[in-house]
Structure 1
Amino acid sequence: MSHSTSPRSIEELQHLLRLSSEAGRPLYVYRQGNDDGLTVDLQELNKIIEIDAANLVATVHPGVKLGTLASRLGEQGLRFMPADTPFYHDKTIGQLFYEGCSNISSLKYGYTKHFLMGSEIVLPTGELLKTGGKTVKNVTGYDFTRFFNAPYTDYGIAVKFLLKLLPLPESRRGLAATFAGLEQLLAFMRKLRDSRLVPAYLLWIDPGVQNLYQAGGQGPLVLLEFDGLAAETAEQAQHTLALIETYGGTIRAAADSYGRLASQWAALYRPGGNYVLTDEYKLAFTRQEEFIKQFYAIAEKFAVQAGLFGQLAEGKLNIALSRPEPEQGFIDAVLQAVIQAGGIAAGKYDRLAGRRGRGALAMLEQRAKAAFDPKMILNR
């Protein structure tokens, strides 16, 4: 196992990168290191540098936890959307962007990357590169903010993030409901989409995943929340309750306070004894039923206690297993089922397993990596 260090300043990290680049010594950030290198822990770079309420921008270090940021912003009536639910509160800002974590509230508010306005990156040479800024329209050429902060790209180490903020909503209405089966759940989802009711988030958890974390799954579970003006959220929740009843659903809980429903399932996005692969598979809504049924057949074939959860309305599906690591054959079969259903895989599993990506885009990424990190010292 590699040795580890926790730089206390950006300048200290720059010095470390210069020395490592000169010596060709590997550095590992957000990854498990090898014996020949040094693991860099960014936990000491944990300051909320500025909350600019007038311009709705926060400037933070990578070691700031999302739960801490949410609390500080809430004191000023503000929120950073990827931290607006408790699912990621144990993650740091650096982990959020490096791991490519999905914004749970993207159904209404858009992807995580759209809440990153700028950054400062320490390159493998020790140089400091600044991208973006506090204004929304600040890109006249290539968008280097998102280029350098793309998941698992390892062109440099992000040490500052400029985050787009939004005001806290006047009201929140949360619902938890279960359905008799997959067909009823998807019928409800189709009607919800057609009715133009847009929850801030909608998370589906199948019985297999429920039983991995809380015994006694009661059928496909949906957690959703509406936010906005009080009259608006009350009307939306009432319409949704009627839809749930129409499709044979059962209300398990209702809440009008922040995070009450979501916090019960926050363990889904935390490291633990189960293997969880998030932000990997994406499918069109109309093809999800086909894939889900095929997934259950694959799990049965490999005798794996497994399940699915995710942002069903957006086609983002995650897997959870009762084992610490999946069999390669199981993962290959799941990938093939995704492709057959017209979906795509982000390649996260290959990256976590230390495999190189495949295809033209992967080749371009490798060429960019060689340009910014010619000695391949970062996460090689």
Structure 2
Amino acid sequence: MSQTVSPQTIEELQHLLRTAHAGGSPLNVYRQGRHEGVTVDLAKLDAVMEIDAANLVATVGPGVKLGKLAAMLAEQKLRFIPADTPFYHDRTVGELFYQGCANLSSLKYGSTKHFLMGSEVVLPTGELLTTGGKTVKNVTGYDFTRFFNAPFTDFGITAKFLLKLLPLPETRRALAVVFPGVDALLAFARDLKDSRVVPAYQVWVDDVVQAIFQDAVAGQLALLEFDGLQEETAEQGQIATILIKKHGGTVREEMDGSGQTAARWSILYRPTDKYILTDEYKMAFTAQGEFIRAFYQTAERSGLKAGLFGQVSEGKLSIALDAALPPEGFLAEVAAAVGKAGGICAGKYDRLAGKKPAGVLAALEQRAKAAFDPREILNRPAAAEVK
């Protein structure tokens, strides 16, 4: 059983890395459950050091829960977009950036990486590196902030994040809608895109995933939220309601920004006893129907209870299995279906399995890893994991 340490200050984290570097001892960060090396738990680095409302920047530690941050910001009429939906409230800021910078509101507000203004990174030698700053003019030349905080890149441990903030919207309108089938759901999403209405988020949960986690409803569940000025939000909601009816959908629940509907499905974005792989598959919007049909056929052949969920408006899909681990060969067959539909796999599964990076940027990443962590102190892959 591996030992777990929980540094409470940046200085303690620096000392831990210096000691590990000197002895060549591996440290596991955001990789619980590994048997070799010491596991570093950053939960106690959970200070919200500053909320600078004038510059719209918050400075926080990696252990800050996004739900806590959202509540504190709301008191000042502010928000950090990725933390603004209840889906991610159980995730920490450090996990958010390390595990792929997920953001259900990216279609409207942009990707999470653009909400990171700066950071303080503890290198494997224990040195502290400062990147970026509170203003855009501090980010010139090479973008080291996003370089050191790219998903699954173990060049150091970020001990402080400078996050870009936005004002809270004037109003919000949340809908839970059921469609009779996948084709109807996709047709609705297509028409919504054509209408130029952009929801704050739009999440699909298929009937299989619903059955895995709770009693299934009779159809495909879509969770949407619109935000902005009151007049704008009302108009968007009216257009969406017309399109919902057009495609045979039924509004099961409607709320003014309470977030309860989304909170119910936050289970899809936190650890459970089921196998969940979020934001792994990316493809053109028009290719999703082909892939979804292939996925269900693969699951049926494999005898699996496996379903899909995700951001259909952006072609970002995820899977959930009624199992703790995926069976041998299943995900490889799913990946082949993604490729056939012209999409790509984000590589998250390979990262979680401990494999070394693959793809066009793999060589560059490996050279950077060798430069900053030549002794492979951080998340050293076991010999059996390297393929």
Match of 1:227 in 2: 227
SS at match of 2:163: strand
Aligned to 1:141: 141
Specify the alignment match of 1:278 in structure 2. 278
Aligned to 1:199: 199
Comparing 182-191 with 299-308, greater Cα deviation is found at: 182-191
> Does structure 1 conserve the Cα–Cα contact (< 8 Å) formed by 2:85 and 2:262?
yes
Cα deviation 1:16-68 (Å, max 9, x = unaligned) = 11111011000111113644411111111110000000110000000100010
1: CA distance between counterparts of 2:217 and 2:333? 26
After superposition, give the CA deviation of every residue in 1:149-193 in whole Å (9 maximum; x if it has no partner): 011110000000000001111100111111111111111111111
Distance 1:33 1:190 in 2: 41
Letter in 1 for 2:12: E
- Counterpart in the other structure of 1:267: 267
Match runs of 1:131-210 below 5 Å: 131-210=131-210
**Quick one: distance in 1 between partners of 2:34 and 2:197?**
49
Secondary structure of 2:329 counterpart: helix
Q: In 2 relative to 1, CA 167–300 (structure 1 residues): closer, same or farther, beyond 3 Å?
A: same
| CA shift digits 1:58-113 (9 cap, x unpaired) | 00000100010001000000000001011111111001101014111112111111
Partner of 1:128: 128
Distance in 2 between residues matched to 1:34 and 1:348, nearest whole Å = 17
Residues 104-132 of structure 1: per-residue CA shift (max 9 Å, x gap):
11121111111111000000000000001
**Equivalent residue, structure 2, for 1:348:** 348
Name the count of aligned residue pairs: 380
Percent identity between the aligned chains? Answer: 66
Moved over 6 A (4+): none
For 1:337, the aligned partner's letter is: A
Residue 45 of structure 1 aligns with which residue?
Answer: 45
Q: CA deviation at 1:263?
A: 1.1
**Match of residue 66 from structure 2:** 66
Change (3 A) 1:181 1:33: closer
Structure 1 window deviating more from structure 2 (149-158 vs 139-148): it is 139-148
* Alignment partner, residue 361 of structure 2: 361
1:135 maps to a residue whose letter is T
> How far apart in 2 are the matches of 1:34 and 1:226?
41
The alignment partner of 1:261 has SS state of helix
Structure 1 spans left out of the alignment, 5+ residues: none
Give how far 1:362 is off: 1.2
Larger deviation: 53-62 or 228-237?
228-237
In the alignment, what sits opposite 1:254?
A: 254
CA distance in 1, matches of 2:328, 2:217: 28
Distance 2:235 2:295 in 1: 36
In 2, distance between residues paired with 1:207 and 1:15? Answer: 49
Other-structure match for 1:25:
25
What is the aligned partner in structure 2 of residue 114 from structure 1?
Answer: 114
Does the 8 Å CA contact 2:101/2:111 hold for their aligned counterparts? no
TM-score (norm 1): 0.98
User: Is 1:57 matched with 2:57?
Assistant: yes
Q: Retained in 2: the 8 A contact 1:28–1:37?
A: yes
Instruction: For 1:4 and 1:273, locate their aligned partners in 2 and report how far apart those are by CA, in whole Å.
Output: 22
Unaligned runs of 5+ in 2: 381-387
Displacement of 1:357: 2.2
Cα distance between partner residues in 2 of 1:242 and 1:360: 44
Per-residue deviation, 1:292: 0.3
Using the alignment, how far apart are the partners of 1:35 and 1:167 within structure 2? Answer: 44
8 Å contact from structure 2 (residues 176, 222) kept in 1: yes
Root-mean-square deviation over aligned CA pairs: 1.0
**Secondary structure of 2:39's match?**
strand
How many Å apart are 1:216 and its aligned residue?
2.4
2:98 is matched with 98
Alignment correspondent of 1:288: 288
Amino acid at match of 1:216: A
SS at match of 2:95: helix
Matching of residues 2-17 of structure 1 within 5 Å: 2-17=2-17
